[in-house]
């Protein structure tokens, strides 16, 4: 679960490798494993989640290396990010135009496409804040799994739905 289709992951990985080579970035074993992880995930993981996954194959990898590699991919335009840089930024290897479903409880993020949403216009007033690079719609809700868990919890023991940003989702 939570993995991109193989052909999709392979295509993304090839794209990362080509982009890195073009930029003169050395393709070390650690970098390749980090690339592989982000390319094959549909979870929009944060750096710590990527670290935990890569550590299973490369125990010596550090959070610092993961951060630097992910931000390098970002700077090369090979992944995009969700959230503000100072917060728990999550990385997205899907570069096709898409929108997000976000669970307000566990932080699950899923991609979906919509021609209707792609056609939405950004109001002119937004330009007063700064330039507009792109726009996507974030649909928020309680994911099927959280809704299920919640209905099984005894009354009064329900966890709050607010302030559950990010972290690693369903591990």
Determine the Cα–Cα distance for residues 116 and 168; give it in Å rounded to an integer: 30
Interface residues with Zn ion (CB under 5 A) are 92, 94, 103, 105-106, 108, 111, 143, 146
**CB 138, min distance to Zn ion, A:** 10
Residue with Cβ nearer Zn ion (40 or 65): 40
Residues 39 and 13: beta-carbon distance below 8 Å: yes
Structure token pair of residue 105: 């409880």
Q: How far is the CB of 58 from Zn ion (least distance, A)?
A: 25
Residue with smaller CB distance to Zn ion, 36 or 90:
90
Closer CB to Zn ion, 17 or 110, in the complex: 110
Site of tokens 């809700």: 141
Using only the alpha carbons of the chain, give its radius of gyration. 18
- Closest distance of CB 35 from Zn ion, Å: 17
| Three-state secondary-structure class, residue 72 | helix
- Closer residue to Zn ion, CB minimum distance, 122 or 141: 141
Residues 95, 12: Cα–Cα separation, whole Å: 9
Look at phi and psi of residue 167 and say left if phi exceeds 0, alpha if psi is from -120 to 50, else beta.
left
Least distance CB 42 / Zn ion (angstroms): 8
């Amino acid at each position: 679960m939570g993995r991109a289709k193989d052909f999709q992951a392979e295509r993304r990985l090839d794209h990362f490798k080509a982009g890195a080579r073009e930029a003169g970035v050395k393709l070390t074993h650690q970098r390749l494993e980090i690339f592989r992880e982000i390319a094959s995930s549909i979870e929009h993981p944060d750096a710590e989640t990527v670290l935990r996954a890569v550590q299973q194959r490369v125990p010596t990898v550090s959070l610092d290396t993961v951060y630097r590699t992910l931000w390098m991919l970002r700077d090369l335009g090979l992944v995009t990010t969700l959230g503000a840089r100072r917060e728990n930024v999550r990385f997205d290897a899907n570069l096709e135009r898409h929108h997000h479903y976000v669970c307000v409880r566990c932080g699950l993020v899923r991609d979906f496409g919509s021609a209707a949403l792609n056609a939405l216009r950004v109001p002119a007033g937004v330009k007063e804040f700064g330039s507009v690079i792109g726009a996507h719609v974030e649909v928020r809700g309680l994911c099927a799994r959280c809704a299920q868990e919640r209905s099984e919890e005894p009354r009064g023991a329900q966890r709050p739905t607010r302030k559950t940003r990010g972290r690693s989702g369903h591990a």
